[in-house]
Chains A and B, each alone.
Chain A
Amino acid sequence: LDQFLFQVLTGVSFASLLFLVGAGFSITLGLMNVANLAHGSLYLIAAYVGMTVARGTGNFMAGLLAGVIATSLASMPIQRVFSRLTSFPAQILVGIGLLNIAQAASLFFWGPHPFVLDAPTILEGSVPVGDLRFSGYRLFLIAVSVAIGVVLWLGLERTRTGAVIRAGVEDQEMVRALGINLTPIFFWTFLLGSSLAALAGVLGAPVTGIYIGLDFEILIFAFLVVVIGGSGSLKGAAVAALLVGIVDSLGKGYFSQLSAFSLYGPMVLILAFRPYGLFGKKQGL
């Protein structure tokens, strides 16, 4: 039972990270029809910047803030570029180009070797689960992710801007016909998505480490969350992240030889019955 509990907790903590990455990607894709592959780069760059500032100042929160601000600023010109790209192949090529540029920049500034960002001292403790210890930082990650999820839900469901975004996801033409200018909404939504990637990058650094290549790996998870949950759906991102995180953790723990299946198997099964994801509509990916 201890082992099972540990695996579920591990899965939920990883799901928390996946939710932060996937939610931003999903909202951007759902509203703007932009498959921003540079989402992985934003995650990675935020982690590098956050680590550098956190180590320089000795303050994790300063690193978190710096990572989010720097990455949000960097995402502004990216948004301008993507807002002009209507063709999906062009978005993909630009995204791959940005991924490569970000990797080269990371190599130049931080070198080829990986880093681990230490968790804040106050969260360095752990909770015993049988013979194992479950890290206090992972519990913190779960709590932060839930809090951000609630704030996002309130923002999308209880504010006028949120209503416009939801309407935009459903039918952009209709929203425009009502005289609503979606350009600033697109801008701020893209910035929100980028900020979530940045937040995940810094918060995830004590768990995933920071290394060149993480951008691609995390992007695959972001895609999984969007494809399973359905593009543009916050609820879908949350459910998909939990599903991927827990199934993947249990699969690795109990059926390690089938761990590749435990990651992609649920996606294949769900898509067989729900081609647009659990909560997706017939648009986007």
Chain B
Amino acid sequence: MALVLALIAACGGTGEETTTTQDAATSTTQTQTSESTTSTGATAQEPIRIGGVFALSGSGASLGQPVAFGIELAFTQANFEAAGRPIEFVTADSAGNPDTGLQETRRLLDEGLNIWAGWEFSGVALAGIPEVDRSGLPWIVAYASDDSITPMLGERGFRAGTTSSQLVNGTLHLIEEQGWTQAAMIGHEITAFRTIVEAIKERTELGLLQETWVGFDVIDFSPFLAQLPIDDGDVLLALMSANVVQFLDQLDELGIKDRTEVLAMPATVSESLLPEVCDQAEGMFTGIGYAWGIDNPANVAFREAYEGQFGVPPNDGSFYGYVTGLAILNALEAIDGNAEDIEGFVAALEQAEVDSPVGPWRFDENHVQVTPYYSAQVQRIDGVCHVMPLTEFPDVDTYPPAG
């Protein structure tokens, strides 16, 4: 039995690599064998190899795939070209597993890359960052939120996605905005969510009646939900990041959602899940770095292009992937596509000004993204549920409180 479980646990990704390039106007995807490419002495027409590890299989694919799609969309719109030089986007599958992610990271690095852009799971990123940094490549964390990544950025590292602190601070803004006074909490036991709960207790007046922490292996949430001390008018903090579809369904099934407001994490009411659980999620609040309903022409163009290419609506992961791709393109254009000039590329990335779907976007002096944060609500628009922004918070800090 132990052997069975150990083998199951050890089961990881497939070791396959996918390379996406643009051939004429058509995006082609092919499985590539292990021929290696060297970036040293590359000519102007040699492709710029940009790659990274993402969770592309298993349950983590619902987080990893949108991030990879976002990057791919940015390159597709640039015809897989920067300053006249072709771009290859190479992805490998971590399956959301740090060990598999590290193996695949080493393989991609061995095969030759110019720029690293990847990661959405913090555990996978934290395992891979030292390896990528040692390789001397410039690297961008597309969407792994753990705060401990920021001190690791150094000279060549950047992070385009949100941070745990931004998630915490954005959530506190939302609590203050809504004026909630009493809550019960159910959440997956991860560091970021623990941090949010501690921050709520220390920095808000919200009274927490109960904290219920659940494991990632829970299939049936009903026993936990039935014990929540929720009264009419209270708010339920739903800090869930996995199996959220059945969580929302069971919350609805028990009638709890009818009696209380729900403050959910971005992953709990991800745009990509809403077509499946519109009734169950409608009306829930969240604090988020990208909301589908942001009303500006750039966002309308982004979501139309994304839905046109991938057939699903973009979520916040798609957005962070997209701005990762745009920032890379912006920097490559600034150095005439000379990706071998790492110092030049890093300097250009530091100066990059991206016209993103949420407005101007850039990195700060510590290489951390600067974007607004939003309070948002799941609302039904023309019969379809979307994450709609309520208020823009332009200055939500991406760092933990000093001290």
Residues of A bordering B, CB below 8 Å? 3, 6-7, 10-11, 14, 35, 37, 89, 92-93, 96, 99-100, 103-104, 107, 111-116, 126, 131-133, 135, 206-209, 211-214, 216-221, 223, 227, 248-254, 256-257, 259-260, 285
Contact = CB atoms under 8 A, between A and B. Distances in A.
Interface string B188-225: 00000000000000000000000011110111101110
Nearest to A93: B7
Contacts of A257: 213
A10 B58 contact: no
B23 to A, nearest CB: 22
Interface of B: 1, 3-5, 7-8, 11, 14, 56-59, 61-62, 64-65, 212-215, 217-220, 222-224, 226-227, 243-246, 249-250, 253-256, 259, 272-273, 276-277, 312
Given A10-B223, A89-B3, A252-B218, 4 more contacts: A37-B8, A209-B245, A211-B59, A227-B1
A107 B220 contact: no
A214 B273 contact: no
Contacts of B62: 112-114, 211
B226 A113 contact: no
Contacts of A3: 226-227
B1 A116 contact: no
A30 to B, nearest CB: 15
Contact of A212 (B57, B254, B312): B57
Contact of A211 (B217, B220, B226, B243): B243
Nearest to A128: B255
A133 B5 contact: no
B178 to A, nearest CB: 23
B4 A207 contact: no
B222 A10 contact: yes
A94 to B, nearest CB: 11
Contact of A99 (B11, B220, B227, B273): B11
Interface of A is mostly: helix
Nearest to B11: A96
B4 A92 contact: yes
B226 A253 contact: yes
B14 A100 contact: yes
A10 B276 contact: no
B253 A259 contact: no
Nearest to B59: A213
A112 B226 contact: no
A28 B60 CA distance: 31
A96 B7 CA distance: 8
B220 A14 contact: yes
A35 B4 contact: yes
Nearest to B96: A213
B65 A208 contact: no
B8 A254 contact: no
Contacts of A135: 253
Nearest to B258: A133
B214 A133 contact: no
Contacts of A227: 1
Given A10-B220, A107-B57, A212-B57, A132 B1 contact: no
Given A104-B14, A107-B61, A256-B214, A116 B226 contact: no
B7 A92 contact: yes
Pick the most buried of A104, A114, A221: most chain B CB atoms within 10 A of its CB: A114
9 contacts: A7-B223, A103-B58, A113-B272, A113-B276, A131-B255, A209-B246, A212-B58, A223-B4, A259-B214
Contacts of A11: 223
B226 A217 contact: no
A257 B1 CA distance: 26
B57 A223 contact: no
A116 B8 contact: no
Nearest to B277: A116
Contact of B227 (A114, A207, A212, A253): A253
Which residue among A92, A107, A113, A285 has the maximum number of chain B CB atoms within 10 Å of its CB?
A: A113
A3 to B, nearest CB: 6
B289 to A, nearest CB: 20
A253 B245 CA distance: 20
Tell me which of B5, B227, B246 has the highest count of chain A C-beta atoms within 10 A of its own C-beta: B246
Nearest to B275: A113
A207 B223 CA distance: 13
Given A116-B277, A133-B253, A254-B227, A217 B7 contact: no
Contacts of A103: 57-58
A155 B256 CA distance: 42
A72 to B, nearest CB: 24
A113 B242 CA distance: 11
B15 to A, nearest CB: 11
A259 B4 contact: no
Question: Which 3 residue pairs of A and B lie closest in terms of their CB atoms, listed nearest first?
Answer: A213-B59, A112-B61, A209-B246
B61 A133 contact: no
Contacts of A206: 249
Contacts of B312: 111, 113
B227 A260 contact: no
